[in-house]
Copies of this chain bind each other. A is one copy, B any other.
Protein backbone atom coordinates (compact mmCIF):
# COMPACT_ATOMS: atom_id res chain seq x y z
CA UNK A 1 0.00 0.00 0.00
CA UNK A 2 3.02 2.31 -0.08
CA UNK A 3 4.00 1.77 -3.68
CA UNK A 4 4.04 4.54 -6.25
CA UNK A 5 0.65 3.75 -7.70
CA UNK A 6 -1.04 3.93 -4.30
CA UNK A 7 0.61 7.25 -3.71
CA UNK A 8 -0.72 8.63 -6.97
CA UNK A 9 -4.18 7.36 -6.12
CA UNK A 10 -4.00 8.88 -2.67
CA UNK A 11 -3.05 12.19 -4.24
CA UNK A 12 -5.96 11.80 -6.56
CA UNK A 13 -8.40 11.21 -3.72
CA UNK A 14 -7.09 14.16 -1.75
CA UNK A 15 -7.37 16.39 -4.74
CA UNK A 16 -10.78 15.37 -5.94
CA UNK A 17 -12.30 15.73 -2.52
CA UNK A 18 -10.69 19.11 -1.80
CA UNK A 19 -9.99 20.69 -5.14
CA UNK A 20 -13.01 19.07 -6.70
CA UNK A 21 -14.78 21.23 -4.21
CA UNK A 22 -12.66 24.13 -5.35
CA UNK A 23 -13.72 23.66 -8.91
CA UNK A 24 -17.32 23.48 -7.82
CA UNK A 25 -17.03 27.18 -7.23
CA UNK A 26 -18.84 26.91 -10.53
CA UNK A 27 -21.77 26.10 -8.35
CA UNK A 28 -23.01 28.17 -5.50
CA UNK A 29 -24.50 30.93 -7.61
CA UNK A 30 -27.74 29.21 -8.36
CA UNK A 31 -26.82 28.18 -11.86
CA UNK A 32 -26.29 24.63 -13.10
CA UNK A 33 -22.76 23.55 -13.89
CA UNK A 34 -23.30 23.53 -17.65
CA UNK A 35 -24.45 27.12 -17.82
CA UNK A 36 -21.68 28.26 -15.48
CA UNK A 37 -19.08 26.54 -17.63
CA UNK A 38 -20.36 28.27 -20.76
CA UNK A 39 -20.39 31.66 -19.03
CA UNK A 40 -16.85 31.03 -17.85
CA UNK A 41 -15.68 30.01 -21.30
CA UNK A 42 -17.10 33.16 -22.90
CA UNK A 43 -15.57 35.26 -20.14
CA UNK A 44 -12.21 33.67 -20.88
CA UNK A 45 -12.54 34.89 -24.43
CA UNK A 46 -13.94 31.93 -26.32
CA UNK A 47 -16.23 34.05 -28.46
CA UNK A 48 -16.83 31.77 -31.42
CA UNK A 49 -19.62 29.31 -30.63
CA UNK A 50 -17.85 26.48 -32.45
CA UNK A 51 -14.65 26.99 -30.53
CA UNK A 52 -16.59 27.13 -27.30
CA UNK A 53 -18.35 23.90 -28.12
CA UNK A 54 -15.07 22.18 -28.90
CA UNK A 55 -13.43 23.47 -25.75
CA UNK A 56 -16.20 22.26 -23.48
CA UNK A 57 -16.89 19.11 -25.51
CA UNK A 58 -20.58 19.95 -25.81
CA UNK A 59 -23.14 18.61 -28.24
CA UNK A 60 -24.34 21.30 -30.59
CA UNK A 61 -27.89 21.07 -29.33
CA UNK A 62 -26.91 21.33 -25.70
CA UNK A 63 -24.54 24.21 -26.36
CA UNK A 64 -27.21 26.07 -28.23
CA UNK A 65 -29.72 25.65 -25.41
CA UNK A 66 -27.26 26.69 -22.73
CA UNK A 67 -26.37 29.79 -24.73
CA UNK A 68 -30.00 30.70 -25.18
CA UNK A 69 -30.55 30.27 -21.45
CA UNK A 70 -27.77 32.73 -20.72
CA UNK A 71 -29.18 35.10 -23.33
CA UNK A 72 -32.58 34.99 -21.65
CA UNK A 73 -30.91 35.78 -18.35
CA UNK A 74 -29.42 38.83 -20.06
CA UNK A 75 -25.83 37.72 -19.46
CA UNK A 76 -24.76 36.97 -23.01
CA UNK A 77 -25.35 38.41 -26.47
CA UNK A 78 -24.75 36.54 -29.69
CA UNK A 79 -24.54 37.91 -33.20
CA UNK A 80 -23.43 36.51 -36.54
CA UNK A 81 -19.74 36.52 -37.29
CA UNK A 82 -18.93 39.47 -39.57
CA UNK A 83 -16.95 37.35 -42.05
CA UNK A 84 -19.20 34.30 -42.08
CA UNK A 85 -22.81 34.71 -41.12
CA UNK A 86 -23.22 30.98 -40.39
CA UNK A 87 -20.96 31.24 -37.39
CA UNK A 88 -22.07 33.08 -34.28
CA UNK A 89 -19.99 35.01 -31.80
CA UNK A 90 -20.99 35.35 -28.20
CA UNK A 91 -19.96 37.98 -25.74
CA UNK A 92 -20.84 38.99 -22.23
CA UNK A 93 -23.20 41.86 -21.57
CA UNK A 94 -22.25 44.19 -18.71
CA UNK A 95 -24.40 42.03 -16.42
CA UNK A 96 -22.67 38.91 -17.73
CA UNK A 97 -19.31 40.53 -17.10
CA UNK A 98 -20.28 41.15 -13.49
CA UNK A 99 -21.50 37.58 -13.09
CA UNK A 100 -18.29 36.23 -14.61
CA UNK A 101 -16.21 38.28 -12.21
CA UNK A 102 -18.29 37.02 -9.32
CA UNK A 103 -17.38 33.44 -10.27
CA UNK A 104 -13.77 34.43 -10.64
CA UNK A 105 -13.58 35.92 -7.20
CA UNK A 106 -15.26 32.85 -5.73
CA UNK A 107 -12.53 30.71 -7.28
CA UNK A 108 -9.86 33.08 -6.06
CA UNK A 109 -11.25 32.98 -2.55
CA UNK A 110 -11.26 29.20 -2.50
CA UNK A 111 -7.70 29.04 -3.81
CA UNK A 112 -6.71 31.54 -1.15
CA UNK A 113 -8.37 29.40 1.52
CA UNK A 114 -6.32 26.36 0.55
CA UNK A 115 -3.13 28.40 0.74
CA UNK A 116 -4.07 30.13 3.94
CA UNK A 117 -4.43 27.04 6.00
CA UNK A 118 -1.07 25.63 5.03
CA UNK A 119 2.03 26.71 6.92
CA UNK A 120 4.58 26.35 4.14
CA UNK A 121 3.06 28.27 1.29
CA UNK A 122 6.17 28.25 -0.86
CA UNK A 123 6.59 24.47 -0.72
CA UNK A 124 2.92 23.91 -1.48
CA UNK A 125 3.06 26.26 -4.46
CA UNK A 126 6.24 24.64 -5.74
CA UNK A 127 4.62 21.20 -5.56
CA UNK A 128 1.52 22.50 -7.33
CA UNK A 129 3.59 24.10 -10.08
CA UNK A 130 5.49 20.87 -10.57
CA UNK A 131 2.36 18.80 -10.89
CA UNK A 132 0.58 21.27 -13.12
CA UNK A 133 3.60 21.49 -15.41
CA UNK A 134 4.01 17.73 -15.49
CA UNK A 135 0.35 17.07 -16.28
CA UNK A 136 0.25 19.87 -18.82
CA UNK A 137 3.61 19.19 -20.44
CA UNK A 138 2.11 18.68 -23.87
CA UNK A 139 0.47 22.05 -23.65
CA UNK A 140 3.56 24.13 -22.86
CA UNK A 141 3.80 26.70 -25.65
CA UNK A 142 6.76 28.87 -26.58
CA UNK A 143 5.80 32.46 -27.25
CA UNK A 144 7.75 35.50 -28.34
CA UNK A 145 7.40 38.10 -25.63
CA UNK A 146 8.60 41.56 -24.80
CA UNK A 147 11.60 41.18 -22.46
CA UNK A 148 10.19 44.06 -20.44
CA UNK A 149 6.75 42.45 -20.07
CA UNK A 150 5.38 40.76 -16.96
CA UNK A 151 6.08 37.16 -18.03
CA UNK A 152 9.67 37.90 -19.05
CA UNK A 153 10.38 39.92 -15.94
CA UNK A 154 9.09 37.09 -13.73
CA UNK A 155 11.38 34.61 -15.50
CA UNK A 156 14.39 36.91 -15.27
CA UNK A 157 13.73 37.55 -11.59
CA UNK A 158 13.64 33.83 -10.86
CA UNK A 159 16.72 33.31 -13.03
CA UNK A 160 18.76 35.92 -11.20
CA UNK A 161 17.61 34.57 -7.84
CA UNK A 162 18.73 31.10 -8.84
CA UNK A 163 22.13 32.32 -10.04
CA UNK A 164 22.47 34.05 -6.67
CA UNK A 165 21.97 30.70 -4.96
CA UNK A 166 24.19 28.75 -7.34
CA UNK A 167 27.23 31.04 -7.47
CA UNK A 168 29.35 30.84 -4.36
CA UNK A 169 29.61 34.61 -4.17
CA UNK A 170 26.07 35.33 -5.30
CA UNK A 171 25.10 37.12 -8.46
CA UNK A 172 24.72 40.81 -9.17
CA UNK A 173 23.07 41.71 -12.47
CA UNK A 174 24.88 45.05 -12.50
CA UNK A 175 28.28 43.30 -12.74
CA UNK A 176 27.19 41.08 -15.62
CA UNK A 177 26.67 42.62 -19.04
CA UNK A 178 22.87 42.81 -18.91
CA UNK A 179 21.63 42.81 -22.47
CA UNK A 180 19.69 45.88 -23.37
CA UNK A 181 16.04 45.01 -23.87
CA UNK A 182 16.07 46.56 -27.38
CA UNK A 183 18.67 44.04 -28.45
CA UNK A 184 16.22 41.23 -27.58
CA UNK A 185 13.33 42.60 -29.62
CA UNK A 186 12.81 42.11 -33.32
CA UNK A 187 14.40 43.00 -35.66
CA UNK A 188 17.68 42.86 -33.69
CA UNK A 189 16.85 39.81 -31.59
CA UNK A 190 14.00 38.19 -29.74
CA UNK A 191 12.90 36.86 -26.39
CA UNK A 192 11.02 33.61 -25.88
CA UNK A 193 8.91 32.60 -22.91
CA UNK A 194 7.56 29.08 -22.32
CA UNK A 195 4.02 29.34 -21.02
CA UNK A 196 2.20 26.52 -19.29
CA UNK A 197 -1.47 27.44 -18.90
CA UNK A 198 -0.69 31.04 -18.10
CA UNK A 199 2.37 30.47 -15.92
CA UNK A 200 5.79 31.32 -17.39
CA UNK A 201 8.01 28.28 -16.87
CA UNK A 202 11.09 29.12 -18.90
CA UNK A 203 12.74 31.66 -21.15
CA UNK A 204 15.60 32.33 -23.53
CA UNK A 205 16.82 35.53 -25.11
CA UNK A 206 18.49 36.18 -28.45
CA UNK A 207 20.55 39.33 -28.27
CA UNK A 208 21.50 40.67 -31.68
CA UNK A 209 23.54 43.72 -32.62
CA UNK A 210 22.23 44.16 -36.15
CA UNK A 211 25.02 42.04 -37.68
CA UNK A 212 25.33 38.37 -38.52
CA UNK A 213 26.46 37.38 -35.03
CA UNK A 214 24.07 37.14 -32.08
CA UNK A 215 24.25 35.90 -28.53
CA UNK A 216 21.96 33.53 -26.64
CA UNK A 217 21.25 34.89 -23.16
CA UNK A 218 19.11 34.10 -20.15
CA UNK A 219 18.28 30.47 -20.82
CA UNK A 220 16.25 29.35 -17.82
CA UNK A 221 13.71 26.67 -16.97
CA UNK A 222 11.60 26.81 -13.80
CA UNK A 223 12.45 24.08 -11.30
CA UNK A 224 8.88 22.85 -11.58
CA UNK A 225 9.27 22.26 -15.31
CA UNK A 226 12.68 20.58 -15.39
CA UNK A 227 13.05 17.20 -16.96
CA UNK A 228 10.45 17.92 -19.62
CA UNK A 229 12.95 18.78 -22.35
CA UNK A 230 12.06 22.46 -22.28
CA UNK A 231 15.61 23.79 -22.45
CA UNK A 232 16.15 21.88 -25.65
CA UNK A 233 12.91 23.18 -27.12
CA UNK A 234 13.78 26.74 -26.14
CA UNK A 235 17.23 26.48 -27.72
CA UNK A 236 15.78 25.02 -30.92
CA UNK A 237 13.25 27.85 -31.07
CA UNK A 238 15.97 30.46 -30.49
CA UNK A 239 18.01 28.97 -33.31
CA UNK A 240 15.12 29.01 -35.71
CA UNK A 241 14.27 32.58 -34.74
CA UNK A 242 17.92 33.49 -35.34
CA UNK A 243 17.80 31.98 -38.81
CA UNK A 244 14.66 33.93 -39.62
CA UNK A 245 16.52 37.10 -38.58
CA UNK A 246 19.42 36.35 -40.89
CA UNK A 247 21.85 35.50 -38.08
CA UNK A 248 24.72 33.23 -39.17
CA UNK A 249 26.68 32.68 -35.98
CA UNK A 250 25.38 32.23 -32.43
CA UNK A 251 27.48 32.61 -29.32
CA UNK A 252 26.85 32.18 -25.64
CA UNK A 253 28.69 32.18 -22.36
CA UNK A 254 27.95 30.12 -19.29
CA UNK A 255 29.39 28.95 -16.01
CA UNK A 256 30.17 25.25 -16.16
CA UNK A 257 30.86 24.91 -12.48
CA UNK A 258 27.57 26.41 -11.24
CA UNK A 259 25.40 25.29 -14.15
CA UNK A 260 26.60 21.85 -15.24
CA UNK A 261 23.26 20.89 -16.85
CA UNK A 262 23.54 23.83 -19.24
CA UNK A 263 27.08 22.88 -20.19
CA UNK A 264 26.01 19.33 -20.94
CA UNK A 265 23.09 20.53 -23.05
CA UNK A 266 25.29 22.78 -25.20
CA UNK A 267 27.88 20.09 -25.69
CA UNK A 268 25.40 17.52 -26.88
CA UNK A 269 23.51 19.84 -29.21
CA UNK A 270 26.16 20.96 -31.63
CA UNK A 271 27.83 23.86 -29.84
CA UNK A 272 31.61 24.25 -30.07
CA UNK A 273 33.69 25.60 -27.21
CA UNK A 274 35.61 28.76 -28.16
CA UNK A 275 37.85 31.34 -26.47
CA UNK A 276 36.53 33.91 -24.06
CA UNK A 277 34.87 36.72 -26.01
CA UNK A 278 33.93 39.12 -23.21
CA UNK A 279 35.19 40.13 -19.77
CA UNK A 280 32.06 39.35 -17.81
CA UNK A 281 33.22 38.01 -14.42
CA UNK A 282 30.64 35.18 -14.12
CA UNK A 283 31.07 32.87 -17.14
CA UNK A 284 33.93 30.41 -17.48
CA UNK A 285 32.86 28.66 -20.68
CA UNK A 286 32.17 30.11 -24.13
CA UNK A 287 30.43 28.45 -27.06
CA UNK A 288 29.66 29.09 -30.71
CA UNK A 289 27.33 27.54 -33.23
CA UNK A 290 27.19 28.25 -36.97
CA UNK A 291 23.71 28.07 -38.42
A binding-site residues for B, Cβ under 8 Å: 1-2, 4-20, 22-23, 107-108, 111-112, 114-115, 117-121, 123-137, 150-151, 154, 196-200, 226-228
Contacts and interface: CB of A to CB of B under 8 A. Distances in A.
A230 to B, nearest CB: 11
Nearest to A127: B127
Given A120-B227, A123-B227, A128 B1 contact: no
Given A10-B197, A199-B7, A227-B119, A114 B127 contact: no
A44 to B, nearest CB: 10
4 smallest beta-carbon distances between A and B, as pairs: A11-B128, A8-B111, A127-B127, A14-B132
Contacts of A112: 5, 8
Contacts of A1: 150, 198-199
Contact of A10 (B4, B198, B227): B198
B226 A120 contact: yes
Given A7-B128, A154-B2, A12 B111 contact: yes
Contacts of A13: 132, 197
A19 B20 CA distance: 10
A196 B228 CA distance: 30
Nearest to A107: B9
Contacts of A197: 10, 13-14
Given A20-B16, A123-B130, A130-B123, A114 B8 contact: yes
A216 to B, nearest CB: 24
Given A1-B198, A2-B199, A8-B114, A228 B131 contact: no
A9 B118 CA distance: 16
Contacts of A7: 125, 128-129, 132, 199
Interface centre among A15, A121, A123 (most CB of B within 10 A): A15
Contacts of A22: 12
A111 B120 CA distance: 27
A6 B124 CA distance: 13
Given A15-B15, A131-B124, A131-B131, A111 B198 contact: no
B10 A19 contact: no
Among the interface residues A11, A15, A117, A121, which one has the most CB atoms of the partner chain B within 10 A? A11
A137 B19 CA distance: 14
A8 B123 CA distance: 12
A19 B14 contact: no
Given A4-B121, A199-B6, A14 B127 contact: no
Nearest to A119: B227
Among the interface residues A107, A111, A128, A196, which one has the most CB atoms of the partner chain B within 10 A?
Answer: A128
Contacts of A226: 120
Given A111-B5, A111-B12, A197-B13, A131 B136 contact: no
